Amino acid sequence: MSLTIPSERADWRTKGLWQPRAVPLEEFAAARHPLFGGPFTWPVMVARRSALDHNIAALAAFCGEHGLAFAPHGKTSMAPSLFQEQLDAGAWGITAATANQVLAYRTFGVPRILLANELLDPTALRWLGGEVDRGMEFLLYADSPEGVAAISAAAGQRPFRVLVELGHPGGRTGCRTAGELAGVARAVAAAPGTELAGVAGYEGGLPDVPSAARYLRALRDATIELSPLLPRDVVVTAGGSAYFDQVAEQLAGDWLPGHDLIVVLRSGAYVSHDDGIYTERTPFNRVPGSLDAALEIWAQVTSVPEPGLAIVGMGKREAPYDAGLPVPLRLRRADGAIVPAAGMSVTDTNDHHAYLAFTDPAPRPGDLVCFGISHPCTAFDKWQVIPVVDDDHTVIDLIRTYF
């Protein structure tokens, strides 16, 4: 199915595009401007088309090979054009983290939404109850009797489908023991307006593969214990972008007798990958497959005030810094020559400045530096419009985000 993607314009508010006069995004993209010499200003974050295509296909293939349904986490990009590509590649649904994201997805027409979070806000729940009555396919989490009561109070004519969440000590949400999980499951089964749909978890915050594997086995064991309460069709969902191989190893297959099992993976950052934390942590370092870093920030050297230090016009407002600083990849000289950014590293960032340490080659004021990023989820949210480039750096499309 085709999503409803709003028609937008680029104008003076569109960071990275030099557009004093408003122009429809479709018209801008159709012009196929060159990134260098076109109507762009620095810094600008771009997405490489070939990498996006590769990554979307890679996770779709991984899920197909392991019998997993896939609901990629949309919070990474909040870009309906990418949601469309993920759904076209076979995604079962799209995952959300907040009620506002669910509202956006519903506006886009996403056919099935998984809210991977607890929700106790009565305003949002009442609206969702109405949407469920109108046919919206929707699942959400509960990890407490209070959460179940809030969901129940907002239900309309059709019940909310609820996943009880198992957490782990020191983690985020989720019941800490199988006994607590069973208590919440019984509350869901007993409450009016709620229907137990399955079990959920999140292993992405764990420090290593063995601890993720242990947690996922505990999730499986807890689901088996809940079997008498579960419906014929059971959803079990887990998975970020660091341990999706373990989700496949521990949860794939037919291990819940008497039930038809749908195991849903929720990875999100894979869509653009990165040159930082996920390059280090991707499961494709352990199992066959690969992802390509899609996001690049091109920024200009504005000053070389002392030997070994350049100042680049890019900072915390343009690039993520929560899980590693930007990674210099290439240097583009004023004459257009591009060389590897060997010997360069970002040591700090301010709001709009990066401190670039260098040995050789030495950047000069006016040169451009291409940076990779670390942590896609805090890169997309800094840009309303992201040019999509081919491998020759011609802009062939624009991604609009809705954070």
pTM above 0.85, yes or no: yes
Res. 145: pLDDT tops 90: yes
Amino acid letter for position 339: V
Q: Cα–Cα distance between 218 and 240 in angstroms, integer?
A: 17
Let me know: does 319 contact 375? Beta carbons within 8 Å. no
Closest by CA to 230, choosing from 193, 188, 168, is 188
Q: Cα–Cα distance between 1 and 38 in angstroms, integer?
A: 34
Please name the residue ranges forming H helices in 116-243: 122-133, 145-154, 178-190, 209-225
Q: pLDDT, tens digit, for every residue of 287-311?
A: 999 999 999 999 999 999 999 999 9
Res. 1: pLDDT tops 90: no
Let me know: does 314 contact 43? Beta carbons within 8 Å. yes
Q: What sign has the CA pseudo-torsion 383, 317, 43, 341? A: negative
Q: Please, where in the chain does CATH 3.20.20.10 lie?
A: 50-273
Q: Please, where in the chain does CATH 2.40.37.20 lie?
A: 9-48+291-400
- Both tokens of 191, joined, read 């409450």
Q: Cα–Cα distance between 180 and 166 in angstroms, integer?
A: 9
In the CATH hierarchy, which fold is given to the domain comprising 50-273?
TIM Barrel (3.20.20)
Q: pLDDT, tens digit, for every residue of 351-380?
A: 999 999 999 899 999 999 999 999 999 999
Has domain 9-48+291-400 been given CATH number 2.40.50.140?
A: no
Closest by CA to 376, choosing from 330, 328, 323, is 323
Task: Report how far Cα 295 is from the mean position of its chain's Cα atoms.
Answer: 13
Residue 154 confidence class, pLDDT cut points 50, 70, 90 = very high
Q: What are the φ/ψ torsions at residue 300 (nearest 5 degrees)?
A: -100, 140
Predicted pLDDT of residue 130: 98
- Both tokens of 386, joined, read 């992201």
End-to-end CA, the chain: 23
Res. 192: pLDDT tops 90: yes
Q: pLDDT, tens digit, for every residue of 7-44?
A: 999 999 999 999 999 999 999 999 999 999 999 999 99
Mean pLDDT, the chain, rounded, equals: 97
List 115's β-bridge partners, or say none: 96
Q: What sign has the CA pseudo-torsion 92, 97, 98, 101? A: negative
Percent of the chain residues past pLDDT 90, beyond the cut: 99
Res. 224: pLDDT tops 90: yes
Environment class of 82 (CB within 10 Å of its CB; exposed 0-12, middle 13-18, buried 19+): buried
Percent of the chain residues past pLDDT 70, beyond the cut: 100
Rg (CA), the chain: 23
